[in-house]
Copies of this chain bind each other. A is one copy, B any other.
Amino acid sequence: QSSVQAYGLIDVSAGQFQDAGAIKDKTVASGKMSTSYFGFKGSEDLGGGLKANFAIESFLRADSGSAGRFNGDTFWARNAYAGLSGSLGSVTAGRNTTSLFVSTLLFNAFGDSFGFSPSIRHYFTSGTVTGDTGWNNSISYSSPKLGGLSAQLQVAGNDGKTLGRRYGGNVLYFGGAFAGSFAFQKVKEGTTAGTTTWQLGGSYDAGFAKFFGQYGKVANDTTNVDYKLGEVGASVPVGASGKLLAEYGKLSVKGRKTVSLGYDYAFSKRTDGYVVYMNDKLPVVDAGNSFALGIRHKF
Protein backbone atom coordinates (compact mmCIF):
# COMPACT_ATOMS: atom_id res chain seq x y z
CA GLN A 1 0.00 0.00 0.00
CA SER A 2 2.62 2.51 1.09
CA SER A 3 5.19 3.25 -1.55
CA VAL A 4 7.42 5.65 0.36
CA GLN A 5 11.15 5.28 -0.14
CA ALA A 6 13.75 6.38 2.41
CA TYR A 7 17.06 7.49 0.93
CA GLY A 8 19.90 9.89 1.40
CA LEU A 9 23.64 10.39 1.52
CA ILE A 10 26.21 10.62 4.30
CA ASP A 11 29.54 12.28 3.46
CA VAL A 12 32.23 12.50 6.13
CA SER A 13 35.84 13.50 5.82
CA ALA A 14 38.85 14.31 7.96
CA GLY A 15 41.27 17.04 7.11
CA GLN A 16 42.08 20.72 7.14
CA PHE A 17 39.41 23.08 5.90
CA GLN A 18 40.34 26.68 5.22
CA ASP A 19 38.60 29.30 3.15
CA ALA A 20 40.56 32.28 1.85
CA GLY A 21 41.17 34.66 4.75
CA ALA A 22 39.85 32.20 7.34
CA ILE A 23 41.43 30.05 10.02
CA LYS A 24 42.51 26.45 9.50
CA ASP A 25 39.86 24.08 10.79
CA LYS A 26 41.42 20.66 11.38
CA THR A 27 38.51 18.38 12.10
CA VAL A 28 36.15 15.63 11.06
CA ALA A 29 33.61 17.32 8.77
CA SER A 30 30.33 16.44 7.11
CA GLY A 31 29.11 17.06 3.59
CA LYS A 32 32.21 18.61 2.06
CA MET A 33 32.00 16.55 -1.18
CA SER A 34 28.19 16.30 -1.19
CA THR A 35 25.97 17.83 1.46
CA SER A 36 24.66 15.01 3.70
CA TYR A 37 20.90 14.51 3.79
CA PHE A 38 18.12 12.01 4.15
CA GLY A 39 14.59 12.06 2.78
CA PHE A 40 11.46 10.33 1.69
CA LYS A 41 9.89 10.24 -1.73
CA GLY A 42 7.17 8.39 -3.50
CA SER A 43 5.23 8.15 -6.69
CA GLU A 44 1.70 6.91 -7.28
CA ASP A 45 0.39 5.79 -10.67
CA LEU A 46 -2.94 7.54 -11.20
CA GLY A 47 -3.63 5.90 -14.57
CA GLY A 48 -3.50 7.38 -18.06
CA GLY A 49 0.19 8.17 -17.70
CA LEU A 50 -0.47 10.53 -14.79
CA LYS A 51 1.50 10.22 -11.57
CA ALA A 52 1.36 11.90 -8.18
CA ASN A 53 4.81 12.60 -6.72
CA PHE A 54 6.21 13.91 -3.48
CA ALA A 55 9.57 14.37 -1.80
CA ILE A 56 10.70 15.71 1.57
CA GLU A 57 14.46 15.93 2.05
CA SER A 58 16.44 17.12 5.04
CA PHE A 59 20.06 18.22 5.12
CA LEU A 60 22.12 17.11 8.10
CA ARG A 61 25.58 17.53 9.55
CA ALA A 62 26.90 14.10 10.52
CA ASP A 63 29.94 15.66 12.23
CA SER A 64 27.83 17.21 14.99
CA GLY A 65 24.61 15.23 14.67
CA SER A 66 22.77 18.41 13.70
CA ALA A 67 19.86 18.86 11.34
CA GLY A 68 20.21 21.34 8.48
CA ARG A 69 23.18 22.87 6.69
CA PHE A 70 23.70 25.43 9.48
CA ASN A 71 22.08 26.33 12.78
CA GLY A 72 18.70 27.86 12.04
CA ASP A 73 18.26 26.13 8.67
CA THR A 74 14.77 24.74 8.09
CA PHE A 75 14.46 21.00 8.56
CA TRP A 76 13.21 20.03 5.08
CA ALA A 77 15.43 22.56 3.29
CA ARG A 78 16.63 20.28 0.46
CA ASN A 79 13.19 19.72 -1.06
CA ALA A 80 9.59 19.61 0.15
CA TYR A 81 6.95 19.30 -2.53
CA ALA A 82 4.04 17.43 -4.02
CA GLY A 83 2.91 17.45 -7.61
CA LEU A 84 1.78 15.69 -10.73
CA SER A 85 3.66 14.37 -13.73
CA GLY A 86 2.58 13.03 -17.09
CA SER A 87 3.33 13.13 -20.78
CA LEU A 88 3.38 16.96 -20.69
CA GLY A 89 5.99 17.12 -17.96
CA SER A 90 6.06 17.48 -14.20
CA VAL A 91 4.73 20.18 -11.90
CA THR A 92 5.66 20.37 -8.21
CA ALA A 93 4.71 22.95 -5.59
CA GLY A 94 6.34 23.72 -2.25
CA ARG A 95 10.07 24.17 -1.74
CA ASN A 96 12.00 23.30 -4.91
CA THR A 97 15.72 23.11 -5.72
CA THR A 98 16.54 25.91 -8.16
CA SER A 99 17.35 25.30 -11.82
CA LEU A 100 20.46 27.44 -11.45
CA PHE A 101 21.83 25.18 -8.74
CA VAL A 102 21.11 22.06 -10.82
CA SER A 103 22.86 23.53 -13.87
CA THR A 104 25.83 24.60 -11.74
CA LEU A 105 26.37 21.16 -10.23
CA LEU A 106 25.96 19.32 -13.53
CA PHE A 107 28.74 21.14 -15.34
CA ASN A 108 31.74 21.21 -13.06
CA ALA A 109 34.12 18.45 -12.01
CA PHE A 110 33.22 18.64 -8.30
CA GLY A 111 29.44 18.50 -8.77
CA ASP A 112 27.41 19.78 -5.79
CA SER A 113 30.41 20.07 -3.46
CA PHE A 114 30.03 23.06 -1.14
CA GLY A 115 33.42 22.15 0.29
CA PHE A 116 35.50 21.86 -2.87
CA SER A 117 33.72 22.99 -6.04
CA PRO A 118 34.95 26.40 -7.26
CA SER A 119 31.67 26.81 -9.20
CA ILE A 120 29.43 26.16 -6.21
CA ARG A 121 31.63 28.42 -4.08
CA HIS A 122 31.56 31.34 -6.52
CA TYR A 123 27.83 31.22 -7.23
CA PHE A 124 26.47 30.28 -3.82
CA THR A 125 28.85 31.07 -0.95
CA SER A 126 30.70 34.17 -2.14
CA GLY A 127 28.01 36.81 -1.69
CA THR A 128 27.04 36.88 -5.37
CA VAL A 129 23.69 35.17 -6.05
CA THR A 130 20.95 36.14 -3.57
CA GLY A 131 18.38 33.57 -2.50
CA ASP A 132 18.94 29.97 -1.51
CA THR A 133 19.58 26.91 -3.69
CA GLY A 134 15.98 25.95 -2.93
CA TRP A 135 13.05 28.34 -3.21
CA ASN A 136 10.19 28.48 -0.70
CA ASN A 137 6.61 28.99 -1.93
CA SER A 138 7.56 27.95 -5.43
CA ILE A 139 6.10 26.08 -8.36
CA SER A 140 8.47 24.22 -10.63
CA TYR A 141 7.69 22.87 -14.09
CA SER A 142 9.97 20.37 -15.81
CA SER A 143 9.33 19.55 -19.43
CA PRO A 144 9.54 16.05 -20.85
CA LYS A 145 12.77 15.22 -22.72
CA LEU A 146 12.57 15.92 -26.43
CA GLY A 147 15.58 14.36 -28.10
CA GLY A 148 18.26 15.29 -25.62
CA LEU A 149 16.56 18.56 -24.67
CA SER A 150 14.60 19.40 -21.55
CA ALA A 151 13.68 22.63 -19.81
CA GLN A 152 12.65 23.76 -16.36
CA LEU A 153 10.71 26.85 -15.29
CA GLN A 154 10.21 28.06 -11.72
CA VAL A 155 8.30 30.86 -10.04
CA ALA A 156 8.26 31.67 -6.34
CA GLY A 157 6.17 34.05 -4.26
CA ASN A 158 7.49 36.75 -1.99
CA ASP A 159 9.50 34.86 0.62
CA GLY A 160 8.34 36.73 3.70
CA LYS A 161 10.22 40.03 3.47
CA THR A 162 13.72 38.69 2.80
CA LEU A 163 13.30 38.15 -0.91
CA GLY A 164 10.86 39.48 -3.46
CA ARG A 165 9.24 37.34 -6.11
CA ARG A 166 11.57 35.06 -8.02
CA TYR A 167 11.58 33.25 -11.33
CA GLY A 168 14.09 31.19 -13.19
CA GLY A 169 14.72 28.14 -15.28
CA ASN A 170 17.15 26.27 -17.43
CA VAL A 171 17.46 24.43 -20.72
CA LEU A 172 19.46 21.22 -20.60
CA TYR A 173 20.87 19.16 -23.45
CA PHE A 174 22.30 15.67 -23.03
CA GLY A 175 23.24 13.88 -26.23
CA GLY A 176 26.26 11.76 -27.00
CA ALA A 177 29.60 13.15 -25.89
CA PHE A 178 28.37 16.71 -25.51
CA ALA A 179 26.05 18.13 -22.88
CA GLY A 180 25.15 21.71 -22.14
CA SER A 181 22.88 24.05 -20.25
CA PHE A 182 21.68 27.60 -20.09
CA ALA A 183 20.28 28.75 -16.76
CA PHE A 184 18.66 32.03 -15.80
CA GLN A 185 17.13 33.41 -12.63
CA LYS A 186 15.85 36.71 -11.30
CA VAL A 187 15.46 37.32 -7.58
CA LYS A 188 13.63 40.56 -6.86
CA GLU A 189 14.74 42.89 -4.12
CA GLY A 190 13.39 42.32 -0.62
CA THR A 191 15.43 43.21 2.45
CA THR A 192 18.04 41.19 0.55
CA ALA A 193 19.48 42.57 -2.69
CA GLY A 194 17.86 41.55 -5.95
CA THR A 195 20.02 39.72 -8.47
CA THR A 196 19.77 38.62 -12.09
CA THR A 197 21.88 35.61 -13.02
CA TRP A 198 22.57 33.74 -16.22
CA GLN A 199 24.94 30.87 -16.75
CA LEU A 200 26.17 28.84 -19.72
CA GLY A 201 27.66 25.43 -19.02
CA GLY A 202 28.88 22.50 -21.04
CA SER A 203 30.78 19.25 -20.89
CA TYR A 204 32.52 17.12 -23.49
CA ASP A 205 33.46 13.53 -22.88
CA ALA A 206 36.58 12.76 -24.95
CA GLY A 207 36.90 9.28 -23.47
CA PHE A 208 40.34 9.78 -21.93
CA ALA A 209 38.85 12.76 -20.05
CA LYS A 210 35.60 14.64 -19.57
CA PHE A 211 35.95 18.40 -19.81
CA PHE A 212 33.74 21.01 -18.12
CA GLY A 213 33.24 24.71 -18.69
CA GLN A 214 30.94 27.36 -17.25
CA TYR A 215 30.57 31.05 -17.83
CA GLY A 216 28.02 33.25 -16.13
CA LYS A 217 27.10 36.64 -14.82
CA VAL A 218 25.46 37.68 -11.57
CA ALA A 219 24.10 41.22 -11.75
CA ASN A 220 23.30 42.73 -8.37
CA ASP A 221 20.27 44.86 -9.21
CA THR A 222 20.47 46.72 -5.90
CA THR A 223 24.14 47.75 -5.92
CA ASN A 224 24.53 47.62 -9.73
CA VAL A 225 27.68 45.53 -9.41
CA ASP A 226 28.13 42.78 -12.04
CA TYR A 227 30.04 39.64 -11.17
CA LYS A 228 31.46 37.48 -13.96
CA LEU A 229 32.21 33.86 -13.22
CA GLY A 230 34.32 31.52 -15.31
CA GLU A 231 35.14 27.93 -14.48
CA VAL A 232 36.97 25.11 -16.27
CA GLY A 233 37.57 21.55 -15.19
CA ALA A 234 38.19 17.96 -16.10
CA SER A 235 37.55 14.47 -14.85
CA VAL A 236 40.09 11.84 -15.94
CA PRO A 237 39.33 8.13 -15.51
CA VAL A 238 42.12 6.19 -13.79
CA GLY A 239 41.54 2.45 -14.01
CA ALA A 240 38.06 0.99 -13.72
CA SER A 241 36.98 2.80 -10.55
CA GLY A 242 39.14 5.88 -10.16
CA LYS A 243 38.90 9.46 -11.41
CA LEU A 244 41.23 12.41 -11.17
CA LEU A 245 39.26 15.64 -10.72
CA ALA A 246 40.41 19.18 -11.43
CA GLU A 247 38.53 22.48 -11.50
CA TYR A 248 39.61 26.09 -11.63
CA GLY A 249 37.33 29.06 -11.27
CA LYS A 250 37.60 32.83 -11.18
CA LEU A 251 35.09 35.31 -9.81
CA SER A 252 35.48 38.92 -10.96
CA VAL A 253 35.16 42.03 -8.74
CA LYS A 254 35.71 39.90 -5.61
CA GLY A 255 38.90 38.61 -7.25
CA ARG A 256 38.35 35.11 -5.93
CA LYS A 257 40.39 32.35 -7.60
CA THR A 258 39.85 28.80 -6.53
CA VAL A 259 41.47 25.60 -7.73
CA SER A 260 40.63 22.09 -6.56
CA LEU A 261 42.33 18.79 -7.32
CA GLY A 262 41.07 15.42 -6.25
CA TYR A 263 41.06 11.70 -6.66
CA ASP A 264 37.82 9.80 -6.30
CA TYR A 265 37.61 6.04 -5.99
CA ALA A 266 34.26 4.30 -6.46
CA PHE A 267 33.94 1.32 -4.11
CA SER A 268 30.53 0.78 -5.72
CA LYS A 269 27.85 2.84 -7.43
CA ARG A 270 26.71 4.02 -4.02
CA THR A 271 29.96 4.44 -2.11
CA ASP A 272 33.15 6.31 -2.97
CA GLY A 273 36.22 7.53 -1.18
CA TYR A 274 38.11 10.68 -2.04
CA VAL A 275 41.18 12.82 -1.39
CA VAL A 276 40.97 16.49 -2.30
CA TYR A 277 43.21 19.55 -2.21
CA MET A 278 41.79 23.04 -2.65
CA ASN A 279 43.50 26.42 -2.86
CA ASP A 280 41.18 29.39 -2.40
CA LYS A 281 42.46 32.93 -2.99
CA LEU A 282 41.02 36.38 -2.31
CA PRO A 283 42.87 39.70 -2.60
CA VAL A 284 44.74 41.02 0.48
CA VAL A 285 43.93 38.11 2.82
CA ASP A 286 45.87 34.86 3.14
CA ALA A 287 44.99 32.07 0.73
CA GLY A 288 43.10 29.12 2.17
CA ASN A 289 44.47 25.61 1.80
CA SER A 290 42.23 22.61 2.38
CA PHE A 291 42.92 18.91 2.13
CA ALA A 292 40.64 16.08 3.06
CA LEU A 293 40.24 12.32 3.01
CA GLY A 294 36.61 11.32 2.92
CA ILE A 295 33.92 8.78 2.26
CA ARG A 296 30.55 9.38 0.63
CA HIS A 297 27.79 6.79 0.97
CA LYS A 298 24.41 6.92 -0.78
CA PHE A 299 21.51 4.90 0.59
Contact = CB atoms under 8 A, between A and B. Distances in A.
Number of copies: 3
A64 B10 contact: no
Interface in A5-39: 5-8, 10-14, 26-30, 38
Nearest to A50: B267
A127 to B, nearest CB: 23
Contacts of A134: 65
A201 to B, nearest CB: 26
A160 to B, nearest CB: 9
Contact of A93 (B14, B75, B84, B138): B14
A287 interface: no
A64 B4 contact: no
Nearest to A91: B295
Interface stretch (A54-62, A143-151, A171-179, A248-256): A54-62
A271 B137 contact: no
A28 B139 contact: yes
A224 interface: no
A113 interface: no
A63 interface: yes
Contact of A299 (B3, B8, B46, B93): B3
A50 B2 CA distance: 25
Given A14-B93, A52-B267, A299-B3, A60 B76 contact: yes
B5 A295 contact: no
7 contacts: A2-B6, A11-B82, A40-B299, A64-B74, A65-B134, A82-B297, A93-B295
Given A4-B8, A66-B76, A67-B75, 5 more contacts: A12-B81, A27-B157, A46-B267, A52-B268, A63-B137
